[in-house]
Structure 1
Amino acid sequence: MNSRYSYDENNETWPVFILAILSVAVIPLTLQSIYEILFIKSKNSTTTIGSIDESNQISSNIKKFRSKNKKSKIFNKKNFILLIGWLFITSLIFKISTTEISSIPNPNNFDPYELLEIEYGTNEKDIKSHYKKLTIKYHPDKIRNKSDEEKKELEERFVLITKAYKALTDEITRENYEKYGHPDGPQQTLHGIALPKFLIEGKSSPFLLAIYIILIGLILPYFVNNWWKRTKSFTKKGIHNDSANLFVENLLNYKPSEIVKIETILKWLSQSKELKELLPSSKFTEENESNDEILEIFNKFFQKLELKHYELQIISKIPILIYGLIDISSSFRNTEITNVAIETLKHFIQRLTPSIKNELLQLPNVDVDVVDKTNIIRLSKLLKLSNDEIKSTLGIKSDDELIQTLSIAKKIPILKLIKAEFKVPGEKIVTPNSNAHISIKVLVKSPLHKGSNFVKKIPEIFLKEDESFEYLKDPFKIVNEQPILPKTYAPYFPVEKISNYIAYIIVQKDGKIADNPIFVQNLDLSNLELSQNQFENLENFKIGTFKIPFNQPTPNELGKYQFRVIIKSLDYFVPDLDFPVIMNVENPAKLEEIEYDIPDPDEDSIAGALAQLRGDKVNRIDDDYESDNDDDDESDLEDDEDFSDINTDTEDESEE
């Protein structure tokens, strides 16, 4: 029985088919991988501005753990699979380029004009002429010195050429061709399969069928099921649902009369599902025993004892768990637990037990017993002492250790508030039922820098934001354009971490969090590289910007609404920013009363030249800049009276 299927016995089609399928998957993924390698910064690739060298402080145990957990942008599973894909593509291209294509036309794709090598519409005389030439070339009686296979191919071609000639000259044959597309009338329908026949109908076909069943019926469902279970088992913040449920339960059972301490947060963390899964099977027994085992690991970490690999893995999971706890506690609007959770994270990052001297204890080479006896608690106060006094205050024994300690201390950033206000993009005032955000301008300073009270005199021109259409469309663009923060100085933490700030709004009326906090990883720390003289020059230092979205429309009723903003470092023990901000919701009709300052054209511009011809006023840049400075100084001083840094560095200010 004749087969109804046409197989690719000469390997002409299936390599092209597989090449097309592979190319669709491999080429886009390769381009994406190249883009990520060249243009996208990885988690371990950040700016070097303000970075702190911690290489001399990291223990061999931590270095070994980091090297095992460090992911390369080039040598990873994805790129390895892509390499295999390109090897397959290369082999397929080679096979296609070296495979001879059969010159026999497919009888099912009958085209008499193509077979006779003439153009459509050629007259009968020319058809006969071309036919005679081809019969001389392909007639079986004319074939000499050919192999049997070549003779067979030429004979088949001669038959097709003859049919093509008749299809264009013989009435019956032409009628069949026009009606059925073939001079012999209706043809059997053939289905082409781009695979060799032995794979489908040969002895290996049951084996291939088994592979197909295993692949489609077992392996693919297994990976899809695992992916689905993982997706459903973890929250958007990346913590296990069981851990999130425990946090929610603890928050629901929390009584406002209870004092939440770092020990409380540690107890909650010890109940986390992902931490228990990292325990060896010998340690994973009853729930309470597992909790105690994890708490014991926490104690070993804070006591600076050497940890095993699985214990370091448990510690490395702490940041993501605390981020999840912060997200949940802020959803409960619980300010106290959010604050304590942030402090707990900093203690893990710097590997310090609770102490009021943590600003000093986060430095290397210090003697804890000596520091405990000093009255100094601020880095800014410490760095005003002489080198000998610093050595005795910190218990440092050698000059080399002192140099290392000071190099780290001066690069720990401290924020000073310059200005904070509610803003509505494109508006001069805050209008009812509008989308507002809080724009915050800060000065980043080193603990070594003195005299930062001049922030009150910074001219408004230095604080003015771009009001182009692009920035009005995306008010947070100015924040994202700032440099990415460097790696945190955390030589005792198992994994490298990028510096972070957290900012959130508190409603003054009830002292509760207004919305979920935002995490900020973009801030220019170039001020830390400035000397004291350079720092005091307005043209040298950079002003940082925070923007906190107010994720609900502004109130419909006019009036003043009081809020607080808290900005904390998630990595270093430094004074936090905690200041009031007033939302003054005003009548939109007031916009008509506001006089918009339309600047006069510059004298050296075309508009300025035309204005001079008309006798209008033009803007002389130098004079205008001086007058603007004077006005801005006064207005900024008035604005600054509305803000007070609640947790300011009082020792620093007293020195200034």
Structure 2
Amino acid sequence: MSSEYNYDPDAQFFPFFVLTITSLVTLPLTYTLLRAPSTTTGGSSKASHITSAYQPEHADIIETQRAKQKRKERRLKRLLTAATGWVVMAYMVYLMYVTARAAPTVWNPYDILDIGMSASEKQINSRYRRLSVTMHPDKRQPDASRNETFDMVNDQWVEIVKAYKALTDEDVRNNYIQYGNPDGKQSTSFGIALPQFLVSEGSGKYVLVFYGLLLGIGLPWLVGKWWYGMQKMTRERVLVTSAGNMFKEYRERMDEGDVAAAVSSALEYRDILHGAKEQSGLGKLEKKLIQAFEEGAEPGMLPKDRKKLEDVEDPVRRKTLALVWAYLHRLDLDDKSLEAEKYELAPTVLQMNEAFLSICLAYGFTSPVLATYHLSQRLVQATPPAERLPLLQLPHFTPSIIKQIEQTTSAGRHEHISIQSFMALPAEHRQALAHAAGLSNGLLKVAEGVARQLPLLKVEKAFFKVQGERYLVPSSLVQFVVKARFIPPGTTNIPDLIEKDLLDVDPAEGDIQAQKQEQEQHPVPLAYAPYFAKDRSPRWHIFLVDNRQGKIAVPPFTFASFDKKPFHEDGSPTFHVVTLKMQFQAPPQAGEYKFVMRMICDSYLGFDHKQEAVMVVEDASKANEVDDDDISEPEEDSIAGQMAALKGQPTASDAQPRRPRKAIREARAEDEESDYESGTDEDEESESETDTDTDSDDE
């Protein structure tokens, strides 16, 4: 026996090797691409845009950063790498298939005689005799339809005879069973998975070095980097270290400025402010901030926020926090590189803000949760946290213009007018206010056009229910149902509500059409955010708050799409009543529970809603009470009716007319032996106890 090393000139082994190596890279990469990405700051591809001709200052820089964010979302490099990997893998599979067809088949006497390897000598002889009857050349004619010739028939018979002799010879048979060859043990041949042309002309050592680097260093490094990258990220796709830093900044009472300082401690900003960008322009940036706030041209930072900025020692975090305040106050930094960094940071800050929200929800205190949602609104709309200026969301409105309008409308009182209140004014009044504040009618019309497209969700009704039940009992699965309509500010000719639209009727069991309608979801237009360098789908968060404890009783349920189409293709509202449901478990004890329902839109200021919500949990025994008149007799032609007839029980055909409910109750009262008289007033009152009045004024 001898050993022999050779190359793979026919590419029989090389495709297997390439397929293995390529799959080790392509499959994990494809998994990361197919894994559902975070949509906390993203937009829906089906959502439309709010149209406006308004171009903010530095619009070219914002568009450049928006295009950069889109490239990050598409992950073109990963997509191209994964696509190339799949093409290579497909080509290798093709080569393997072609090679398998072209490769010579191994001679197998068992396959030729069509018997198993465990067949005895008697079975082999019997099989040979049967084949000699049908396959012998003297007894078989060539099949013209299969293009057979006499030579082919003879060759087939020769193979049968050869296989028979091999299996009836004990030594030959043992050699085949042990070594796979009738002649016994053969020389060993080691195939190297390299085409011969790669190692010809003295280049073999370089190829071996390449393979050593690839398999010994490159592949382990790539897989390790991918695995470590997966392990050091949280579920919200945030670095574990960043989550730890933000956790240390958490307090039970926080405002938007505190949350902004907390999220600035994340490490993700180092990918943007790396190298020379860490401290470049930081002095100029802080000087601009201080100058603008001291001059009073913009709503300034609170003293505690300025102190936090001054106390930060890490240059990256300090510059990040300064850029965040500059972005929120729309400061002109007179530096293109700083402007680009300012707009590039905003989407990352919003992502960190979403991660910080998870930390706040884990504790359940209302104050930091509300502050996080409000900071999200301000990041999308680029408005300062120090003062609430909802009109800044409209194009061409500036703090000075808003201040002039508010002084006129509020008669000297310090009140911030919302978009809804401003658009509710008569058109002539709005024009007069805008003209007095220095805003022309043309610019006002642009702002009004945007306002009439904003998705203001108005709550029409909110109530508790248990599906399929009349009462809420302890520990039952409760649904808090909110019925609302999208009515943009300034909308006229609003149709009246239809009472049946405010009902929440449970679909019948097996009603596929109703279930399909509930599953259909329709998005709203992308958020109008001219200063935010990324498409943003507005979302509405509904949660219940216990004001006595200052904590969240039911965590937020998030809604980004709705069961009915909110807007037409032209942007006009449909006025359909949409249904929002949040499901949770009722308290374990009966009683009356008072909550405050909060609905917050995380992309627009002034679109929040707050109202009281009272949940009445009845005793479990009340749910078991069933009136006699609620039970009907079985139909005579049904199986239950036939069984009842056989037993002599009444059916629907011979049932007596039902007695009035009052008579039934009086009969019950006479039969019961008790020390008190039972009336019908309590029963009548109990029917109305499930009605929960949740109507209240908007915040």
**TM-score with structure 1 setting the length:** 0.71
Once the two structures are superposed, what CA deviation does each residue of 1:70-106 show, in whole Å capped at 9, x if it has no partner? Answer: 1499883344235434653675588679879768653
The match for 2:65 is 65
Which one-letter code corresponds to 1:264 in the other structure?
D
Once the two structures are superposed, what CA deviation does each residue of 1:487-537 show, in whole Å capped at 9, x if it has no partner? Answer: 110001122211112222212431211244233211378556699xx98xx
Q: For the residues of structure 2 that align with 1:16 and 1:276, how far apart are their CA atoms?
A: 42
Deviation at 1:206, TM superposition (A): 5.8
Q: For the residues of structure 1 that align with 2:586 and 2:612, how far apart are their CA atoms?
A: 17
Which one-letter code corresponds to 1:370 in the other structure?
I
SS at match of 1:428: coil
Most deviating of 184-193 and 461-470: 184-193
The match for 1:235 is 234
Indicate yes or no: 2:424 matched with 1:384: yes
Once the two structures are superposed, what CA deviation does each residue of 1:149-187 show, in whole Å capped at 9, x if it has no partner? Answer: xxxxx9xx99x9868635536996477348845895544
Q: Which of residues 358, 361, 381 in structure 1 aligns to 2:392?
A: 361
The match for 1:262 is 256
Q: For the residues of structure 2 that align with 1:123 and 1:638, how far apart are their CA atoms?
A: 87
Q: For the residues of structure 2 that align with 1:171 and 1:224, how far apart are their CA atoms?
A: 51
Alignment of 1:71-90 (within 5 A): 71=71, 76-85=76-85, 87-88=87-88
Once the two structures are superposed, what CA deviation does each residue of 1:628-648 show, in whole Å capped at 9, x if it has no partner? Answer: xxxxxxx9999574431351x
SS at match of 2:275: coil
Deviation at 1:581, TM superposition (A): 1.7
Q: For the residues of structure 2 that align with 1:237 and 1:35, how far apart are their CA atoms?
A: 13
Once the two structures are superposed, what CA deviation does each residue of 1:114-167 show, in whole Å capped at 9, x if it has no partner? Answer: 9xxxx9654547766389999xxxxxxxx9xxxxxxxxxx9xx99x98686355
Deviation at 1:483, TM superposition (A): 0.9
Indicate yes or no: 2:51 matched with 1:53: yes
Most deviating of 374-383 and 460-469: 460-469
SS at match of 2:561: coil
The match for 2:245 is 246
Q: For the residues of structure 2 that align with 1:355 and 1:32, how far apart are their CA atoms?
A: 40
Indicate yes or no: 2:526 matched with 1:500: no
Indicate yes or no: 2:326 matched with 1:300: yes
Deviation at 1:412, TM superposition (A): 1.7
Q: For the residues of structure 1 that align with 2:100 and 2:73, how far apart are their CA atoms?
A: 41
Deviation at 1:383, TM superposition (A): 2.1
**Residues 417 and 645 of structure 1 are in contact (CA less than 8 Å); yes or no, is this contact kept in structure 2?**
no
SS at match of 1:265: helix
The match for 1:129 is 137
The match for 1:408 is 450
Residues 57/178 of structure 1: CA separation in 2 closer, same or farther (3 Å cut): same
Indicate yes or no: 2:543 matched with 1:547: no
The match for 1:626 is none
Residues 326/77 of structure 1: CA separation in 2 closer, same or farther (3 Å cut): same
Alignment of 1:455-474 (within 5 A): 458-460=498-500, 462-469=502-509
Q: Which of residues 465, 469, 484 in structure 2 aligns to 1:442?
A: 484
The match for 1:274 is 268
- Identical columns (%): 20
Q: For the residues of structure 2 that align with 1:251 and 1:24, how far apart are their CA atoms?
A: 41
Q: For the residues of structure 2 that align with 1:378 and 1:614, how far apart are their CA atoms?
A: 67
Residues 54/230 of structure 1: CA separation in 2 closer, same or farther (3 Å cut): farther
Once the two structures are superposed, what CA deviation does each residue of 1:390-416 show, in whole Å capped at 9, x if it has no partner? Answer: 234234644442332111111222232
**Residues 359 and 573 of structure 1 are in contact (CA less than 8 Å); yes or no, is this contact kept in structure 2?**
yes
Alignment of 1:481-500 (within 5 A): 481-500=520-539
Q: For the residues of structure 1 that align with 2:566 and 2:162, how far apart are their CA atoms?
A: 90
Q: For the residues of structure 2 that align with 1:210 and 1:367, how far apart are their CA atoms?
A: 65
Which one-letter code corresponds to 2:164 in the other structure?
L
The match for 1:564 is 596
Deviation at 1:484, TM superposition (A): 2.0
Deviation at 1:599, TM superposition (A): 13
The match for 1:309 is 340
Q: For the residues of structure 1 that align with 2:167 and 2:601, how far apart are their CA atoms?
A: 92
Aligned residues: 574
Indicate yes or no: 2:172 matched with 1:176: yes
Q: Which of residues 580, 588, 609 in structure 2 aligns to 1:577?
A: 609
Most deviating of 93-102 and 494-503: 93-102
Deviation at 1:322, TM superposition (A): 1.4
Deviation at 1:220, TM superposition (A): 3.0
Q: For the residues of structure 2 that align with 1:444 and 1:271, how far apart are their CA atoms?
A: 38
**Residues 459 and 636 of structure 1 are in contact (CA less than 8 Å); yes or no, is this contact kept in structure 2?**
no
Gaps of 5+ in 1: 135-142, 144-153, 601-610, 618-634, 648-656
SS at match of 1:251: coil
Gaps of 5+ in 2: 115-126, 143-150, 280-311, 410-416, 633-650, 658-686
**Residues 445 and 528 of structure 1 are in contact (CA less than 8 Å); yes or no, is this contact kept in structure 2?**
no
Q: Which of residues 619, 644, 647 in structure 1 aligns to 2:696?
A: 644
SS at match of 1:546: strand
Residues 60/211 of structure 1: CA separation in 2 closer, same or farther (3 Å cut): same
Most deviating of 53-62 and 10-19: 10-19
Most deviating of 212-221 and 105-114: 105-114
